[in-house]
């Protein structure tokens, strides 16, 4: 594995989950592996969990970490080749990527979809801009299309809490006042499609995700029907994919409640808007796994960094 940018970079999910569980048991076992190595983290967008859990993961491996809020503090970057740079962008990614490669041994990048132009977002301009010019491995800390560290942590959490050989997992769209990207939903679908679970997706009309990612996974439009008999409900808000980046509805009837969950476990990547996406009572109940998902972000990141250090 040269870089970790997608769920598709995981060669054997079963082996990785086994290894992640072992790291969780003994987080400092490989404290010497990263000695003398530096992890650089560039954030073009806000973060709590990704930033702290990835730092914690690196510290558990003995690495040094340097972090930059690139979106706020960095020079505005140019990504197009051959441009006459007489506008606002002061630095080309060709230099930025090669410069960062001098300071770091592994580089994490967070750069969300801008949700203005689907084709532009799907070209992953920031992630691919750096991938084209770095000489070190890159870890995707959430790009326009994927959030693989989150989904690896989600898979680990689900694995730890499953009580059936083949649980029913439902990814449910939930309301949100702001247009949100598709990355978490995309990566969750991709990783669940590789696990022994029965996955289905439920959302209102107009919120279909990329058909190439959904593939054969069943899609429903009635939340009550979809949640019937669910063992895990993964709530996520996303903006329309067809009417790209638009909020088509904020219908509060789609909020997840204890009544809807019945006995199912509740999952969400966080941050979550209480009483919009999910009722307070769910988050305060034993059915909520959200804090454990956040905890598992450390071991997901640690496993990825360990794999990159070992190669
Ligand atoms: N789930 C997640 O990625 O959280 P942050 O945006 O806070 O990093």
What's the full length of the chain, in residues? 311
- Quote the pLDDT of residue 71: 86
247-275 burial string, b = 16+ CB within 10 Å, else e? beeeeeebbbebebbeebbbbbbeebeee
Q: What is the pLDDT of residues 157-171, one digit of tens each?
A: 999 999 999 999 999
Q: What is the pLDDT of residues 98-139, one digit of tens each?
A: 999 999 999 999 999 999 999 999 999 999 999 999 999 999
Q: Which residue has the tokens 């790009």?
A: 143
Average pLDDT, rounded, for the chain = 98
Q: What is the pLDDT of residues 61-102, one digit of tens each?
A: 999 999 999 989 999 999 999 999 999 999 999 999 999 999
Q: How far is CA 180 from CA 5, 247, 279, in A?
A: 20, 9, 19
Determine if ligand 1 sits within 6 Å of the CB of residue 52: no
CA distance 141 to 122: 16
Determine if ligand 1 sits within 6 Å of the CB of residue 269: yes
Q: What is the pLDDT of residues 207-242, one digit of tens each?
A: 999 999 999 999 999 999 999 999 999 999 999 999
Question: In three state form, how does the secondary structure of 254-302 look?
Answer: HCECHHHHCCCEEECCCCCCECCCECHHHHCCCCECHHHHHHHHHHHHH
Residue nearest to atom 3 of ligand 1 (CA): 50
Residue nearest to atom 6 of ligand 1 (CA): 47
Instruction: Give the confidence band of 54 by pLDDT, cuts at 50, 70, 90.
Output: very high
State the distance between the two ends of the chain, measured CA to CA, in whole angstroms. Answer: 8
What percentage of the chain carries pLDDT values higher than 70? 100
**CA-110 nearest atom, ligand 1:** 8
Instruction: Give the confidence band of 36 by pLDDT, cuts at 50, 70, 90.
Output: very high
pLDDT of 290 higher than 90 = yes
Question: Residue 310: exposed, middle, or buried by beta-carbon count in 10 A (0-12, 13-18, 19+)?
Answer: exposed
Determine if ligand 1 sits within 6 Å of the CB of residue 50: yes
Q: 0.85 cut: is pTM over it?
A: yes
CB 171 within 8 A of CB 242: no
Reading across the β-sheet that carries 198-202, which strands appear in turn?
219-220, 198-202, 168-173, 232-236, 265-267
**CA-147 nearest atom, ligand 1:** 3
Contacts of 9 (CB under 8 A, 6+ apart): 1, 3, 148
What percentage of the chain carries pLDDT values higher than 90? 100
Expressed in angstroms and rounded, the spacing between residue 53 Cα and the centre of ligand 1 is 9
Expressed in angstroms and rounded, the spacing between residue 48 Cα and the centre of ligand 1 is 6
């Amino acid at each position: 594995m040269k870089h970790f940018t997608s769920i598709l970079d995981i060669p054997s999910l079963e082996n990785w989950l086994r290894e992640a569980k072992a790291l969780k048991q003994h987080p400092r076992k490989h404290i010497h592996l990263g000695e003398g190595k530096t992890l650089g983290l560039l954030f073009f967008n806000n973060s709590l969990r990704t930033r702290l859990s990835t730092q914690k993961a690196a510290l558990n491996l003995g690495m040094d970490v340097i972090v930059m809020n690139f979106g706020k503090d960095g020079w505005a970057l140019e990504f197009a080749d051959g441009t006459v740079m007489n506008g606002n962008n002061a630095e080309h990614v060709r230099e930025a990527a090669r410069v960062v490669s001098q300071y770091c041994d592994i580089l994490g990048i967070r750069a969300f979809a801008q949700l203005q132009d689907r084709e532009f977002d799907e070209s992953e301009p920031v992630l691919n801009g750096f991938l084209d010019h770095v000489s070190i491995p890159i870890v995707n800390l959430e790009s326009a299309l994927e959030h693989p560290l989150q989904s690896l942590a989600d898979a680990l959490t689900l694995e730890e809490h499953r009580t059936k050989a083949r649980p029913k997992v439902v990814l449910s769209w939930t309301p949100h006042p702001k247009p949100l990207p598709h990355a978490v939903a995309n990566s969750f679908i991709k990783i669940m499609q590789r696990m022994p679970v029965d996955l289905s997706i439920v959302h209102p009309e107009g919120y279909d995700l990329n058909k190439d990612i959904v593939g054969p996974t069943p899609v429903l439009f009635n939340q009550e029907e979809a949640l019937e008999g669910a063992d895990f409900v993964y709530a996520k808000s996303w903006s329309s994919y067809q009417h790209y980046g638009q909020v088509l509805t904020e219908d509060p009837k789609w909020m997840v409640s204890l009544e809807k969950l019945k006995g199912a476990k509740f999952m969400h990547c966080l941050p979550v808007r209480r009483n919009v996406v999910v009722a307070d009572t769910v988050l305060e109940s034993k059915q909520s796994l959200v804090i454990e998902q956040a905890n598992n972000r450390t071991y997901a990141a640690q496993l990825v960094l360990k794999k990159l250090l070992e190669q």
